[in-house]
């Protein structure tokens, strides 16, 4: 009976992916769509999240919750350290580290750091002559707090400092993320409003941060062995993204994942764009996760992500 039910769910999942892929002709971009700065804040860290198509707002837990939804921190009953590596295209690489620790039952604090290195960039003067390599990088540091306000309701906040550097030009701004998570028996409902704050000023030219609102739901239909997630992301100065993912666990140690991350209104995209696969291995002391994205939305290249998580006992 269980195998038959699981088969129906997987068939339904394939149908859902196909329906979302067909929505590519529907444009729902905001009328106030415009340029934003610090777009590296939109690159989600964590291989587990990537394997789920980044549908992680309602799944958010552990040290990774500092980025996806700080309200998810509150369920952590032990300390946790996470490191994530993401080699993007050319020489660009994203590094992410996070540490979370419970201060009290239902009260968990976290600190995280994101660093995007653009690799080697050749510099030239107005006459086209080489001037040497340029230094370019982005980073963001955050302090987070997740609190249970009721047995099934938690709130979270992350206060961030964001900075970008391009040779002699730089800009910085504060920002904040707010999160809510409501937990039922087998369903999580979540909302996160992220990257709300000041403007980045490059040479007196202010640019907005990539603020967005994410609404998500996750479902555990049978047991912790199977989790489904779905969410909608609305950029304040852009369009809409639809995300969905499924995670299957075996013996509470081995995990397989797949997901679909679809930005509506894009022309010329292939079905493979936005599709992701992942796997995880859990140990008593931590977890290792891997994700693979063929023909990534942003680069049209195959991308690989890695994460390691360690428990910290009191």
Q: For 219-248, what is each residue's pLDDT tens digit?
A: 998 777 889 999 999 999 888 999 999 999
Indicate the burial class of 283 (C-beta count within 10 angstroms; 0-12, 13-18, 19 or more). exposed
Lowest mean pLDDT among 24-38, 197-211, 287-301: 24-38
**How confident is residue 11, by pLDDT bands cut at 50, 70 and 90?**
low
Q: Would you say 46 and 289 are in contact if contact means Cβ atoms under 8 Å apart?
A: yes
User: Euclidean distance between the first and final Cα of the chain, in Å?
Assistant: 43
pLDDT computed for residue 32 by the predictor: 43
Q: For 45-96, what is each residue's pLDDT tens digit?
A: 999 999 999 999 999 999 999 999 999 999 999 999 999 998 876 678 889 9
Cα separation, 239 vs 101, whole angstroms: 35
Cα separation, 100 vs 59, whole angstroms: 17
Cα separation, 196 vs 187, whole angstroms: 28
Q: What is the DSSP letter of 78?
A: S
> Smallest Cα–Cα separation from 210: which of 155, 253, 181, 173?
173
Q: Residue 285 region, left (φ>0) first, then alpha (ψ -120 to 50), else beta?
A: alpha
**How confident is residue 26, by pLDDT bands cut at 50, 70 and 90?**
very low
Cα separation, 100 vs 146, whole angstroms: 10
All domains in the chain, ordered by first residue: 2-312 (2.40.160.60)
The Cα diameter of the chain in Å comes to 73
Instruction: Give DSSP secondary structure letters for 9-32.
Output: HHHHHHHHHHHHHHGGG-----TT
Report the relative pairing of strands 187-197 and 200-202 from DSSP bridges: unpaired
pLDDT computed for residue 31 by the predictor: 38
pLDDT computed for residue 38 by the predictor: 83
pLDDT computed for residue 68 by the predictor: 96
Kindly give, in sequence order, each residue whose CB lies less than 8 Å from that of residue 150, ignoring residues fewer than 6 positions away: none
**Radius of gyration for the chain, computed over Cα atoms and rounded to the nearest angstrom:** 20
Lowest mean pLDDT among 23-27, 226-230, 275-279, 282-286: 23-27
């Amino acid at each position: 009976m269980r195998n038959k039910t699981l088969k129906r769910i997987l068939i339904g999942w394939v149908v859902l992916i196909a329906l979302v892929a067909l929505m590519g002709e529907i444009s729902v971009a905001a009328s106030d769509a415009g340029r934003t700065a610090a777009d590296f804040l939109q690159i989600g860290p964590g291989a587990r999240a990537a394997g789920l198509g980044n549908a992680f707002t309602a799944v958010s837990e552990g040290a990774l919750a500092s980025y996806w939804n700080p309200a998810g921190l509150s369920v952590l009953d032990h300390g946790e350290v996470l490191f994530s590596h993401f080699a993007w295209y050319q020489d660009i690489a994203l590094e992410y580290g996070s540490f979370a620790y419970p201060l009290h039952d239902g009260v968990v604090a976290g600190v995280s750091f994101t660093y995007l290195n653009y690799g080697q960039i050749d510099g030239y003067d107005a006459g086209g002559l080489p001037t040497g390599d340029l230094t370019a990088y982005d980073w963001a540091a955050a302090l987070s707090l997740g609190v249970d306000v009721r047995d099934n309701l938690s709130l979270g906040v992350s206060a961030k400092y964001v900075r970008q550097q391009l040779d002699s030009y730089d800009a910085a701004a504060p920002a904040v993320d707010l999160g809510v998570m409501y937990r039922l028996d087998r369903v999580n409902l979540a909302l996160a409003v992220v990257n709300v704050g000041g403007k980045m000023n490059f040479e007196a030219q202010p640019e907005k941060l990539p603020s967005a609102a994410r609404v998500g739901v996750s479902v555990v239909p049978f047991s912790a062995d199977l989790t489904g997630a779905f969410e909608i992301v609305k950029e304040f100065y852009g369009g809409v993204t639809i995300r969905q993912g499924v995670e299957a666990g075996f013996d509470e140690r081995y995990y397989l994942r797949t997901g679909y991350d679809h930005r509506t209104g894009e022309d010329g995209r292939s079905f493979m764009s936005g599709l992701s696969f992942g796997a995880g291995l859990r140990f008593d002391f931590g977890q290792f996760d891997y994700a693979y994205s063929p023909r990534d939305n942003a680069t049209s290249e195959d991308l690989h992500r890695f994460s390691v998580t360690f428990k910290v006992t009191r």
